[in-house]
Structure 1
Amino acid sequence: IMASYTQVSYLTIIGVAALPALLYFLSVAMFVRIEAKRSNAQQLEDPDAPGIVEVLKKGWHFLLPLIVLVWALIYGFTPTYAAGIAIASVIVASWLSKQPMTPKTIVEALVQGTRNMITTGILLITVGLIINVVSTTGIGNIFSLMITDWAGGSLLVTIVLIAIASLILGMGLPVTASYIVLATLSAPALYNLMAHAQLVDLLVAGDLPQQAKAVFML
């Protein structure tokens, strides 16, 4: 979604999101440990639980669809096409296991996947309606103007306000829907601030193109 919306390569997005993702999982692990200590939770010992090496030996082929999906996105395929390739690779990967998928299980898996996507599809339709309302009524521009006004031209304050809005939206929407709505509402505010800052830097440095100077003279 981010790559298609921003027209930025998926590899660049991975690089930018790596540190925030790491911090997120570290914070989750920290809070889990704190809660476990607070509630005196004891570690469960299961002598029959397989080790990580044994799990990888038996199920290494299940990593292939994930690798194929990431490769397809990095290579520049659309998310829909990449998902299709990954689904096909799941079938191929199953043939490397002791329980390969048969035509019957493939159909059952597709049916189950379709059922699971109904809720997500309804949410995305609702998000599409929200985006159309935002675009038609101009709420997005009003929201951006409000953010810019409250931030007083500060990019840092703008990011903090957008983060708060993201937190509120994330309470009632899934990640993808929350990102789409937030990007529609907040992108103009960030773009205007960054564009204004770049313009000021160009004016101070005297690197403004001749065409732009002519516009300012008018």
Structure 2
Amino acid sequence: MDCMPNGSLKDAINERGRGFDEGGIARVAERVLRGLRYLHGLGIVHGDINPSNLLVDEGGEIKIADFGASRVVVDGAEGNTIESAERGGTCAYMSPERFDCEGFGGGGDGGGFAGDVWALGVVVLECYLGRFPLVGAGERADWATLMCMVRFGGMPEVPVKASREFRGFVERCLEKEWRRRGTVGELLEHPFLEMRSSSCPVMEGFAGDGG
């Protein structure tokens, strides 16, 4: 594996202590989506996309790591059922169908792939806010709280000062019904990614003010 001397995206969030600018976030989102497009093309669901598993290389670019919760989707086998919370992964970034596959469109291969998209949406919003977005600032994100928030709560609030493109991107990622959620291919064409920084996202692209 490549050397990752700059730690993880989680380290960058903690060190910064506030939100990142949208250009840098868009660059991160694009890098993760390109990685997911490659994995999904091989039939691999990562299953644990979160800031701690997004490592920063020497150039400041994001690389997906930790495949301990991943699975391979094959016809007639794993692909016929949506993964559940028991499969592993970080519960804070699990999609609604991971907690309740019957209540949120269970069945079919797409749910596993779509779960990676949900997790990316949480990561993107976390980058903007500078904190985990599914509970209030200072609140503890325990398993029961997260399950109730994801299953029964509404769309996580996006600050009104965020751009229309950013809000639209997050909404497509965090659609509760996985069949209506944005796909990796769709999101790679989303207008939000046109705002991405042309420079290294962690080193320079996060230089501005965010949420």
TM-score, with structure 1 as normaliser: 0.24
**Higher relative CO (CA 8 A, sep ≥ 6), structure 1 or 2?**
2
- Relative to total residues, which structure has the larger helix share, 1 or 2? 1
- Relative to total residues, which structure has the larger strand share, 1 or 2? 2
Instruction: Please tell me whether Structure 1 or Structure 2 has the larger radius of gyration of its CA atoms.
Output: 1
